[in-house]
Structure 1
Amino acid sequence: MDKEIFLLIDESQYDKNWSMSGKIIYDSSEKIFMVFTASSALNLEYNADAARRMFKRVVTPLNYNEHLKLKYDYSNINLGNSLVSLILNGEEQNAIKYENEMNRDLINNIKYNFNDWDEYLKYGGFPILARKINFRRLSTNIVDMIEKVVNTDMVAIKNFTFENQTNSNRILRYLALQNAGDLSQNNLAKYLKTSQANVKNILDILEKTHLIFSIEAYGTSSKHMKKTKKYYFATSSIRNALSENSGNTINDIKQYEGILLENHVASILFNFTQRGNDCFTLYYDANKKRNVDFILQRDFKNPVPIEVGRGRKDKKQITHAINSYGADYGIIISDTTTNIEKHNNIIYVPPKTFSFL
């Protein structure tokens, strides 16, 4: 070839040999820059031909800043950047400045619906919320997307049986109706009448679809091995859609919204650890007494304990975690305050503000 070109291939999963074709072109010419996109994450995850030559970029669910950009053409990227400094260094001044700017801008935006963040928590994460569509239809569309992943994408995997297709749907609904820490692979295996090894295999595949993700217990490597993982959905709207579709068993609205918020914060933090050049890892706190929800670790620096909840949150758990883990400060994400506040070594962040991360 005598000139450079871009080759953009969408829905690449419909060609079973896409990666081999890409490999041949890659080896034949340095003048072709290829981008392969697929609505099936599994198709990109399970491919040995492209693994060594491919740079993967996962398209994560929308944070609140991206949601506002699509729906109201409003963006405050400075708030997201300042939240990074707040979380990693405990520096809250810039975050407070840009939070005030954001709140002022949204108040003056005549198109902004002040129930928008609550709607985003239950139905957001996907661009479809920016369209004019009723919430029941939104949940149905999300459930349809999940069923396509399980019934089409997962079935395409070698040796994935119809029985495991059914088990995958049942596991997702089971996860949607439980607290994040209430998953016992042993009990789940008995419920499904299958082996623990098969349950683990299904969960591993579901993670590769990017419908769910897992985090390990904070501590030594032996604790990682002994303690079960906690599983969360890629966005709280997936959990909400499955709950609505399956029949939500939680009657307390505040408790239910608290569970959704924990999943949402887990999703935001997990996506944060997946980008950037620094090494971040997200854990859950495995202490049996006064445990916080999450611990964020950056390289060899002191951990940052993070507590999440709807309604007023006292500081006993976060104070205990700060002292136990030698943290410099801790973060409470709750509507305890309407704005970012720092009291001694505890930083309070409203959920809507945190969603800009």
Structure 2
Amino acid sequence: MRIPQSDLLAVLRNYNPWWQNQPLPDLPNWKRAAYYKIAAWAAEPPAGRALLLSGARQVGKTTLFLQAIQELLDQKIPPGNILYATLDHPLLKLAGLEQILEAWQEREPRREGPLYLFIDEIQSAKDWQTWIKHQVDFHKGQRRIAVTGSATPLVTENQESGVGRWQTIKLATLSFYEYLQIRSEPVPTLPQIRSLRQLFDWKESNFQEVSHVARPIIALFHEYLLRSGFPQCSTISSITLSQKLLREDIVDKVLKRDMTALFGVRRVLEIEQVFLYLCMHDGGLLDLQELCQSLELKRPTVSNFIDLLEATHLIYRLRPYGYGKQILRAKSKVYLADAAISPSTLLKGKSLLDDPIALGQAAETAFFKHLFTRYYDQTLGFSYWQNKKKEEVDLIVDLAGRRTVPFEIKYRSPNHTKTKAFPAMQEFCQNQKIEKGYIITREIDDFKTLQLSENLRIQKIPAALACYWLGQSEIDRL
């Protein structure tokens, strides 16, 4: 549909105040780790590729784009060479990408240097993959295109049209470290750990000293599990209001708006029921038969709903470790995108802290998210493992075939890790000839290295410290 150019420009001027030499709205002074990846792309796109910033709604994608734009303006890039548009706006969505570009180019004649296009919620554009392909192929070096998307299908459907045309940054919710920075919480001075493997070289006195100094971050970690890593929610002082905002502005909008607008879902009540079931089983194995029986839904319907929840970044799925038909038929493990989604959606409030099982699930979800955020682009995948006794190694990271790293999360009670047995960890490491593993603990003083056997050392790390260091670190390996 053809939209009058004057109407388009009226909208674009509001989103691009720099065209009229006006400052951007207040932006956070502190920058997330993903910002530096975007800035590096803007300076020199690898092989001329576009950039895809993929993540859930309200996770901070727009803020990162505006911070990147501010950096370009500080570098004296001509303001007219920079366009920002969001296809969440109904008029821009109706106009389409080509009309938006036409209006921009007629309003702001090109100056010397490349053009920078920042497009939010690209999945709302028709044939967006083909559009990016043409832009990259026919405007090499002239246009640098960065887009965001809140749905995974935009990187899976028609993938062949985009092969080699864009690089992807997957943006999760705030890490524990980022949460503390954004809230300006007073944090004790802790040593910087560039790799969790460094801890195997520590002396007992190092563990004792850090345990003593780090004790205040446990309460902050629990607040993080309650407030969430969604930027808007994390800055609200009231935990009750924070959870209300998460439930209403993030979860409900995805379930009741995006599912209909993006995927044509009409059975909104049923997909909401499936999501509530997953909230009650966060971090657990997904028993599709039990889920179908509990909700009286057919298996294909439930499988489709779970695919859509994963596509909109509300959940992650892990397959069991290994290969073959037996593994393909095995149950998946499901994690929510953020530890606070379950207590917020189920209206638990602060009662989460009084429920050892639920608190343990929240800590495991948070730890997985930190691992995923730091290593998704360097791994062959994340998985879990069970022995014949159903004893489990919760998380296994396969670092691009170089090394397999197992983790068990033991957070359900203060005495849950006092034993030195850990039979699942020992069996898995023995079978796979792995010499180092990790136990993620609850108590701040449950922090030490154990020699479980001649060929196996285990590093016990309190969850709050592990998440803090994973969020702080810019390392590329564990």
CA contact (8 A) 2:226 2:339 kept: yes
Cα distance, 1:102–1:300 mapped onto 2, change above 3 Å: same
Q: TM-score, normalised by structure 2?
A: 0.62
What's the offset of the Cα at 1:192?
A: 3.4
Q: How far, CA to CA, are the matches of 1:235 and 1:259 in structure 2?
A: 11
Instruction: Supply the distance in 2 between the matched residues of 1:342 and 1:98 (Cα, whole angstroms).
Output: 9
Residue 328 (1) aligns with residue 328 (2): no
Q: Percent identity?
A: 22
Query: Which secondary structure state, in structure 2, belongs to the residue aligned with residue 122 of structure 1?
Result: helix
CA distance in structure 1 between the aligned counterparts of 2:236 and 2:434, rounded to whole angstroms: 45
The CA distance in 2 between the partners of 1:273 and 1:147, in whole Å, is: 29
RMSD: 3.5
> Alignment partner for residue 264 of structure 1, among 366, 372, 387?
366
| Farther-moved stretch of structure 1 (12-21 vs 320-329) | 12-21
In structure 2, C-alpha distance between the alignment counterparts of 1:149 and 1:77, rounded to whole Å: 38
Report whether the alignment pairs 1:353 with 2:450.
no
Specify whether residues 170 and 280 from structure 1 end up closer, same or farther in structure 2 by C-alpha distance, changes over 3 A only.
same
Other-structure match for 2:347: 244
Question: How much has 1:280 moved relative to structure 2?
Answer: 4.3
- Name the structure 2 match of 1:298: 399
In the alignment, is residue 282 of structure 1 matched against residue 382 of structure 2? yes
2:408 maps to which residue? 307
- 1:319 maps onto 2:422 in alignment: no
Choose from 194, 199, 202 the match for 1:93: 202
In 1, the alpha carbon distance for the partners of 2:222 and 2:352 equals: 18
2: CA distance, partners of 1:113 / 1:334: 14
Structure 1 equivalent of residue 375 of structure 2: 273
Q: Aligned partners of 1:136, 1:210: CA distance in 2, in Å?
A: 24
Mark the structure with the bigger radius of gyration: 2
Task: Sort the Cα spacing of 1:210 and 1:189 in 2 relative to 1 into closer, same or farther, 3 A.
Answer: same
How do residues 148-297 of structure 1 correspond to structure 2 at under 5 angstroms? Answer: 148-158=253-263, 160-163=264-267, 165-178=268-281, 180-244=283-347, 253-276=355-378, 279-289=379-389, 290-297=391-398
* Counterpart in the other structure of 2:114: 4
Rounded Cα–Cα distance in structure 2 between residues aligned with 1:101 and 1:256: 27
User: Closer, same or farther in 2 for the Cα pair 1:288/1:271, shift >3 Å?
Assistant: farther
Query: Contact 2:177–2:467 at 8 Å: present in 1 too?
Result: yes
Judging changes above 3 Å, is the alpha-carbon distance between structure 1 residues 11 and 217 closer, same or farther for their aligned structure 2 residues?
closer
**How many Å apart are 1:257 and its aligned residue?**
0.8
- 2:146 matched to which residue of 1? 35
Q: Is the 8 A contact 2:282 2:336 kept in 1?
A: no
Contact 1:210 1:234 in 2 (8 A): yes
**1:126 Cα deviation from its structure 2 partner:** 1.8
Structure 1 unaligned spans of 5+: none
Q: Does 1:25 align with 2:135?
A: yes
Distance 1:28 1:182, change over 3 A: closer
In the alignment, is residue 115 of structure 1 matched against residue 226 of structure 2?
no
SS of the counterpart of 2:195? helix
Partners of 2:337 and 2:369 within 8 A in 1:
yes
Q: Secondary structure at the match of 1:156?
A: helix
TM-score after normalising by structure 1? 0.81
- Measured in 2, the distance between the counterparts of 1:103 and 1:61 equals 29
Query: 2:170 matched to 1:58?
Result: yes
What is the alpha-carbon distance in structure 2 between the residues aligned to residue 254 and residue 230 of structure 1?
Answer: 20
Rounded to whole Å, the distance in 2 between the matches of 1:348 and 1:166 is 43
State how many pairs are aligned.
342
Give the distance between the partners of 1:100 and 1:202, measured in 2 at CA: 48
Q: 1:231 to 1:80 in 2, by over 3 A?
A: farther
